[in-house]
Structure 1
C-alpha cells in the first residue's frame, strides 16, 4: 500500500461523500479507491468510515484522523514548494471553475501570459454558470459574481462588474424603445430572462434614478442559465437584457446593441474568487488568484465607493468568508 495514495484517497472520499465521486475526481477506478481506504483501515486497525448504500460518513476516530491527515498533506505540499526551485515556479494541477463569458472574453485571451510565467501549472478549467460544489467536485476555486450569502467558504473580492441595459436595434424597431423600466411589463416589450442557478427562477433587476427605485421582472419568451446564450438571445432580438460592460462593449461599438435607460443606474456586481475553508492555499492557487485579481483590475476595478463599504480582504491567506450568488455572472 502506498501510504500517500491511501491518505489522499481517504481525504477525497470524505470530501466527496462517496467512493464513486472520489474515484472520478482522482482519475482512478472505484475498486482501487475502495482498496486503498480498506488497506489504510486495516493498517490502523480502526474503522474510519461508516458506509451505507446512500452515503459515506466519518466515524469518531475517522473525523479526528481526517483533520490530522488534511494538515499532513498540506505540510507536504508546503515542503515541496519551500524548495527554491518550486517556490520560484509553482507547479501542479489546479482545478478552477469560471463563468463562460468571462472565460471567453477576459481569461482565455490573457492565459498565454499566465502560462509563460508559470509553465508548470496545469489548469483544469470548468467553464459554466452553474453552482459548483467545490468540495464534492474537488474544485480548488471558483470565480463568481454576486453578493456573499454563505459563510462556509473563503472568498477574495477581485473586481466589480459595471452593468448596463441593452437591446438589439431590430428589437427596438419592432417593439419601440422603452422610456421607463416599468414599460418592460407592457405587452409590447419583453426581456431575455436569466435563470438563477440557485433558485431556478428568472433574476429580477433593481434599477435606480435619483430617489426612484424600480424592481424589474419583465415579460420573456426565452430564459437561459448561461451568460453566452443570454447575450446571443439579446443579439438575436429576443428582448432587453442587462449586461456587464465588458460583454456589451464590442457589440455596442459595432452597432449590434444599443444602450437603453441611460439615466438609470444598476448596482455594480462584485466579483469573487471563493474556495473551501479546509483547502490549503498552495503556491499555485495563490499565484492564480493574484493573476486574476490583477487582470480584473484592468477590466473591472472595484470603485472607491464599493471599496469603502466592502470588507477588507487582505491577501489570499486571510480573505473574508462567504459564498457568491450565481445570478448574472
Structure 2
C-alpha cells in the first residue's frame, strides 16, 4: 500500500462526501479508490468511513485521522510549493466557479493575458449563478459579488462594480420615466434578479446623499441568471437594476436608457473566495494576485 496516496484518497472522500466525486476529482476508477481506503483502514485497524448505498459518513476515528493527516498533507504541499516557486513557473490545474455575466463580460475577455503570463496553468470555468460547494466539488476558488457570509471561506476583495437602473426607450415611452425611486411602486413593471440559493428577489437599492432606499414590491418577472436577467430588460419586460459592465453596450447604443441617475446604488463588492482548509497553491496565489491587478478596471468599464 502507498500510504501517502491512500491518505490523500481518504481525505478527498471526506471532503467530497462521496466516493464517486472523489474518484472523479482524482481521475481514478471508483473501485481503485475504494480499495485504497479499505487497505488504509486495514493498516490502521479502525473503520474510517461508514458506507451506505446513499451516502458516506466519517466515523469519529476517521474525523480525528483526517484532521491529523491534513496537517501533514499541507506541510508537504508547502514544501513542494517552495521548491516549485524557486525553480519553475506555476503550473497545474485551476477549477474556478464564477457567475454568468461576470464570466462573459469581465473575466473571459481578460483571460488571454493570464494565459500568456502563465502558459503552464490549465483553467476549468464553472459558469453559473448558483452557489457552488467548494469542498465537495473540488473547486479552487469562486468569484462572486456581494457580502461574505460563510466563515469557513476566506475572501479577498478584487473590485467594486457600479450598478445602474435602466429600461428600454419603448418601455419608458409607455410607462413614463420615474423621477424618484418611490415611483417604481406606482404602476411600473420591475424585472427582479432572483437569488438561486433562497428564491428571493433582490430589492432595488438606491443611494443619494448618503441616504439608502430599498424598493421591495412585487415584480412582473423574476430571473435567476444574470445574462437572462439583462435579456429580460432588453426585451422590454420592465425596469432592471444590473451591473454597468453588463449593460454598457446597450446603454451606449441606446437600446437601454439609464434612469434615476441621482440615486445610483452603492458600488457592489466582488470577492475571490477559497476554503480556509485548502492549501493556497502557487498557481492559485498568482491567479488571485492577477485578479486584484486586472479586474477592478474591467468591473467599472463603461
Normalising by the residue count of structure 1, what TM-score does the alignment of the two structures yield?
0.84
The answer to whether the 8 A contact 1:152-1:277 is kept is yes
SS at match of 1:223: strand
Alpha-carbon separation, structure 2, partners of 1:143 and 1:91: 21
The 5-angstrom pairing of residues 197-276 of structure 1 reads 197-210=196-209, 213-276=212-275
| Aligned counterpart, 1:102 | 102
Alpha-carbon separation, structure 2, partners of 1:160 and 1:47: 49
The 5-angstrom pairing of residues 40-55 of structure 1 reads 40-55=40-55
SS at match of 1:297: helix
Query: How far off its partner does 1:298 sit?
Result: 2.0
Alpha-carbon separation, structure 2, partners of 1:297 and 1:203: 24
| Aligned counterpart, 2:19 | 19
Alpha-carbon separation, structure 1, partners of 2:237 and 2:5: 52
SS at match of 2:296: helix
Give the unaligned 5+ runs of structure 1: 302-329
The answer to whether the 8 A contact 1:80-1:86 is kept is no
Query: How far off its partner does 1:208 sit?
Result: 2.9
The answer to whether the 8 A contact 1:50-1:58 is kept is yes
Query: How far off its partner does 1:86 sit?
Result: 6.5
The answer to whether the 8 A contact 1:145-1:270 is kept is yes
Query: How far off its partner does 1:135 sit?
Result: 0.9
| Aligned counterpart, 2:60 | 60
Give the unaligned 5+ runs of structure 2: none
The 5-angstrom pairing of residues 1-329 of structure 1 reads 1-83=1-83, 88-187=88-187, 189-210=188-209, 213-300=212-299
Alpha-carbon distance change, 225 to 199 in structure 1, aligned in 2, over 3 angstroms: same
Query: How far off its partner does 1:300 sit?
Result: 3.7
Alpha-carbon separation, structure 1, partners of 2:24 and 2:39: 20
The answer to whether the 8 A contact 1:184-1:219 is kept is no
Alpha-carbon separation, structure 1, partners of 2:216 and 2:84: 56
Alpha-carbon separation, structure 1, partners of 2:179 and 2:276: 47
Query: How far off its partner does 1:297 sit?
Result: 2.8
Alpha-carbon distance change, 183 to 154 in structure 1, aligned in 2, over 3 angstroms: same
Superposition RMSD on alpha carbons, in Å? 2.0
The answer to whether the 8 A contact 1:87-1:283 is kept is no
Alpha-carbon separation, structure 2, partners of 1:135 and 1:97: 12
